[in-house]
Amino acid sequence: MTVLSIGGSIINKNGIIQIDYLKRLGKLLAEYHLGIVVGGGFSARVYANAMKLLSNNEFLADECAILSTRQNAMLLIAAIGKNAYPNAVNSFAKAREIYFSNKTVVMYGTIPGITTDTDSVLLAEAIGAKKLINVSIIDGIYDKNPKEHKNARKLKALTHDELIELANKYDNRTAGTNFVFDSVAAKIAKRSNIELHFVSEDTNEIKKALDNKLHSGSVVKSNLGKLTE
């Protein structure tokens, strides 16, 4: 059993929806039975920022951003086709029902104050999945923010505790922001010993991760000892 968390930034790149990419991704995902959570990406940030300027209210900004996750989830369902349940859902109970009726389920954001990283590990817990693949524009976990530091190193393998430490550095809990992986999500992955795979949007990499093959992203497991490169 596998859960996939798809970053909204790979669906909507600076306002341009990646139709051809979505078709390829949908075709690949249609071959598997999955629990999927979709993020908000660019439009979530645009709407969250606008709502913050207008209302000065983080809760409302999150609620606005969640609507972007729903739109992206709808697009992915359309791309997957008949192997996916036709509606995007944001209830874990409903997601369980759908998953256990043998359909792929696609979820969107649930409540303000969290991110789709957290939703995805909660979905993994809800259906008993021990493996979660996080797909985003960043091709793995880095020791520093690769956008800001030229000498950032990709970590091929790390423990849940090491991920929690990195996630804590980034986490400022505000609507539309993105960090390496939400620290709450990292802690939930630890408590249920969920193995995490971080891969780029390259569909070959996603396929390798789905098929339990070696990929070029990062893996988070409970007991690895020291960080490896």
- Distance, in Å, from the CA atom of 32 to the CA atom of 206, rounded to the nearest integer, reads 12
Q: How far is the CB of 25 from ligand UTP (least distance, A)?
A: 14
Q: Pick from 54, 111, 152, 227: which binds ligand UTP (CB under 6 A)?
A: 111
Residue 78 engages ligand UTP in binding (rule: CB under 6 A): no
Q: How far is the CB of 181 from ligand UTP (least distance, A)?
A: 9
Residue 110 engages ligand UTP in binding (rule: CB under 6 A): yes
- Distance, in Å, from the CA atom of 63 to the CA atom of 180, rounded to the nearest integer, reads 22
Residue 184 engages ligand UTP in binding (rule: CB under 6 A): no
- Distance, in Å, from the CA atom of 44 to the CA atom of 183, rounded to the nearest integer, reads 20
Place of tokens 């369980």: 96
Complex with ligand UTP: residue 6 or 98, whichever CB lies closer: 6
Residue 69 engages ligand UTP in binding (rule: CB under 6 A): yes
Q: How far is the CB of 10 from ligand UTP (least distance, A)?
A: 7
Complex with ligand UTP: residue 38 or 155, whichever CB lies closer: 38
- Distance, in Å, from the CA atom of 89 to the CA atom of 80, rounded to the nearest integer, reads 15
Task: Give the ranges where 106-182 is alpha helix by DSSP (H).
Answer: 116-127, 160-170
**Burial class for 213, CB neighbours closer than 10 Å (0-12, 13-18, 19+):** exposed
Contact window for ligand UTP (CB under 6 A) among 49-57, 79-87, 91-99, 113-121 = 113-121
Residues in the chain: 229
Q: How far is the CB of 116 from ligand UTP (least distance, A)?
A: 3
Residue 125 engages ligand UTP in binding (rule: CB under 6 A): no
At residue 83, what are phi and psi to the nearest 5 degrees? Answer: -75, -10
Note every long-range contact of 204-208, with CB atoms under 8 Å and residues 24 or more positions apart, other chains counting: 205/139, 206/4, 206/25, 206/28, 206/133, 206/135, 207/28
Q: How far is the CB of 47 from ligand UTP (least distance, A)?
A: 9
Cβ pair 126, 96 in contact under 8 A: yes
Contact window for ligand UTP (CB under 6 A) among 14-22, 26-34, 92-100, 171-179 = 171-179
Q: How far is the CB of 5 from ligand UTP (least distance, A)?
A: 7
Residue 35 engages ligand UTP in binding (rule: CB under 6 A): no
| Contacts with ligand UTP, residue ranges (CB under 6 A) | 7-9, 39-41, 44, 48, 62, 65-66, 69, 109-112, 114-117, 119, 136, 175-178
